[in-house]
Structure 1
Amino acid sequence: MAKGHTTVSDFAVAPRRSRPVEQSVTQPTSETNAAELPTELRNADQAQDAALPRAEVDKPVSRLIAPTEEARRERATTRALQREDSRIRLRDLKRARDRESKHYVNCPLDYDTKTRLQKAALENDVKMTVIMKAAIDQFLKDNGY
Structure 2
Amino acid sequence: MAKGQTTVSDFAVAPRRSRSVEQAPMPAASATKLAELSRETRNADQPQEPAPLGTEADQSANRLIAPTQEARRERATARALQREDSRVRLRDLKRARDRESKHYVNCPLDYDTKMRLQKAAIENDVKMTTIMKAAIDQFLKDNGY
Distance 2:115 2:64 in 1: 71
1:115 maps to 115
2:101 maps to 101
TM-score, normalising length from structure 1? Answer: 0.57
2:126 maps to 126
Displacement of 1:125 after TM fit?
0.9
1:28 maps to none
Distance 2:125 2:93 in 1: 30
Q: Deviations over 1:35-68 (max 9, x none)?
A: xxxxxxxxxxxxxxxxxxxxxxxx9935232011
Deviating beyond 4 angstroms after TM superposition, the runs of 4 or more aligned structure 1 residues are 17-20
Q: CA RMSD in A?
A: 2.8
1:56 maps to none
Displacement of 1:126 after TM fit?
0.8
Q: Specify the SS of the correspondent of 2:64.
A: coil
2:69 maps to 69
Amino acid at match of 1:138: Q
Distance 1:100 1:136 in 2: 16
Q: Specify the SS of the correspondent of 1:91.
A: helix
Q: Measured at CA, do residues 64 and 101 of structure 1 come closer, stay the same or move farther in structure 2, by a change above 3 Å?
A: farther
Q: Deviations over 1:62-117 (max 9, x none)?
A: 52320111111111111111111111111111111111223110000001101111
Distance 1:109 1:99 in 2: 26
Distance 1:68 1:129 in 2: 59
Distance 1:64 1:78 in 2: 21
Distance 2:83 2:141 in 1: 45
Q: Specify the SS of the correspondent of 1:104.
A: coil
TM-score, normalising length from structure 2? Answer: 0.57
1:137 maps to 137
Q: Deviations over 1:110-133 (max 9, x none)?
A: 011011111111111111111111
Displacement of 1:138 after TM fit?
0.5
